[in-house]
Amino acid sequence: MLNNSGKNTHTLMLSLWTNWAIAFGFIAIVLILSRFVPKIWLPFPVFILAYLELIVLRRRTSFSVPGSTVMLSVSVLTLFWSSMVMLGINILNAHPVFEQFIDKATVNKQIPYITSLIVFPVMIIMSLWVMLRNTSLLRNGVSTSANNVITSLYRRESHYQVQLMLFISAGMSAVEWWYYFNYYINVNMNTPDVFFFTWMPVALYIFSLYFVWNRCGNIAAVIGPIAYGAKKTGTIIRYIVLSDDRMLLTMNEHDRWDTPAVTQISKFDNIGEEAAKKAFENISGCKDFELRYLYETSLSDILPQMKHYAAFVKAEDYPAVKDHGTWFTLDQLDRMIKTARLSAELTDEIYRIFTITMAWKTYDTEGRRLYPIKHYRPTFRLRDLKSWTVDYNDVSWFAIANNNQDRPFFRTRRFWHKITGSKF
């Protein structure tokens, strides 16, 4: 029987490998379908597969480490745009208006296109596009060194998988087009044609499953014990310390400014409001303060839970860092974020609070303006955080910040999100 560390290792390995298996697997399904579905109809099942994979992507995004499902995004985009290219070729071949521009001697109405000659070049473009955009999922704060290591490894492996898919698609495109120009005769699909255009890519997919499984196993063997050790520590609590419109910061071990109030509570302790207050009193030495719960995060089921609070104090009543802490205004914090002088954890916290607050103060839950002023920007003051009634655990505000009445194609985007189940 697996111990806890072994279970964590297995979970991590399976998660990384599953993303690859699904992403490349949907591409392999399209290649196999092309053997049985007439080319005139093939764009429609390809589009349906893109839609189904998008649903899978959204569901896995909700419980995966941020950035670990980028490979699925590449696959979804590849399927969607491949179906559009196939549909366009069918229209060009079917419509009499375009016949004068097409050399009939080189056209086979029964085989207007070869699927792999479309899919792999499109995948090259989509892989490059995703890499250039540095695609990531919803930002989440990470508060321990273990979390940083695990998240970094996940994101690096996700980037590696996109690079691997780019390499495979480039290699397959070169081989497929070389065979097409040198050996393919546009009359029918003989046995060598079927092998090169269908079964060779499918065989490569099967081989890649074994390769990625071994690679993920090696990575998970490192991550598993780290995750297990981090999980045993219990709950991590971070407090943003505020006094009027200023935030208290100290320099951390990485020479970045961060909150001085971070602690851990054993998983065996009661982690409620009173426990959070007692913990803050112990680490700060402050007796007179107000506490507001903000939100909680956990990158996955195998990593520790993190709770985030805002502590409102009087500057002169914070004895624990009287000689070491520095109070910063919002304007100073903004400049420090732009120059990467804040810790990643604090940057994520400020980003989340600011984004959700501004969306909540500007739009309703449907993304419509609360005020009849286009691009209205409400005020944001740190001292008001105490009275804002917005739920910072409600990540749907990120979707509203990304798609609202002030953004182009608002209604079209909203309709697309409804039919796909997408939140972002």
Q: 151-179 pLDDT, tens per residue?
A: 666 677 888 889 999 999 999 999 999 99
CB of 90 closer than 8 Å to CB of 39:
yes
Structure confidence at residue 75 (pLDDT): 93
Q: What is the pLDDT of residues 209-256, one digit of tens each?
A: 999 988 877 776 666 655 555 555 567 889 999 988 899 999 888 888
Full-model pTM: 0.64
Residue whose entry in the numeric block shows the structure tokens 């104090």: 313
Confidence of residue 381 (pLDDT cuts 50, 70, 90): very high
pLDDT over 70, % of the chain = 75
| Segment of 24-28, 223-227, 265-269, 302-306 carrying the highest mean pLDDT | 24-28
Spatial contact of 221 and 9, defined as CB atoms under 8 Å apart: yes
pLDDT tens column, 9-41 = 566 677 778 889 999 999 999 999 998 998 889
Q: pLDDT tier at 106 (50, 70, 90 boundaries)?
A: low
Mean pLDDT, residues 53-75: 75
142-146, 210-214, 289-293: least confident range: 142-146
pLDDT at 411: 80
Decide if 313 contacts 289 (C-beta within 8 A). Answer: yes
Structure confidence at residue 33 (pLDDT): 93
Nearest alpha-carbon partner for 306 in 151, 156, 154: 151
Q: Say whether pLDDT at 44 is over 90.
A: yes
Q: Write down the H helix ranges in 273-393.
A: 273-284, 330-338, 344-362
Task: Please give the pLDDT value at position 231.
Answer: 54
Q: What is the pLDDT of residue 59?
A: 78
Buried-state track 351-375, b at ≥16 Cβ within 10 A, e below 16 = ebbbbbbbbbbbbeeebeeeeeeee
Quote the CA–CA distance of 215 and 192 in Å, as a whole number: 32
CA atoms within 13 A on the CB side of 199: 7
DSSP helix, strand, coil percent of the chain (3-state; round to 5): 60, 10, 30
Question: What is the model's pLDDT at position 117?
Answer: 93
Residue 21 pLDDT: 93
The pLDDT-based confidence of 136 (bands split at 50, 70, 90) is very low
Q: Which of 59-63, 106-110, 286-290 has the highest mean pLDDT?
A: 286-290
Phi-psi region of 400 (alpha: psi -120 to 50; beta: other; left: phi over 0): alpha
The mean predicted confidence, pLDDT, of the chain is 80
Q: How far apart, in whole angstroms, are the C-alpha atoms of residue 191 and residue 142? A: 54
Q: Beta 235-243 vs 306-313: how paired, if at all?
A: parallel
Task: Identify the pLDDT of residue 352.
Answer: 92
- Close Cβ partners of 64 (under 8 Å, ≥ 6 residues apart): 15, 19, 137, 300
**Which pLDDT value is given to residue 137?**
38
Q: How much is the pLDDT for 144?
A: 40
Average pLDDT of 66-86? 85
Query: Cα–Cα distance between 9 and 22 in angstroms, integer?
Result: 20
In this prediction, residue 84 has a pLDDT band, given cuts at 50, 70 and 90, of very high
Longest alpha-carbon distance in the chain? 88
Specify the range with the lowest mean pLDDT, choosing from 50-54, 138-142, 265-269, 410-414: 138-142
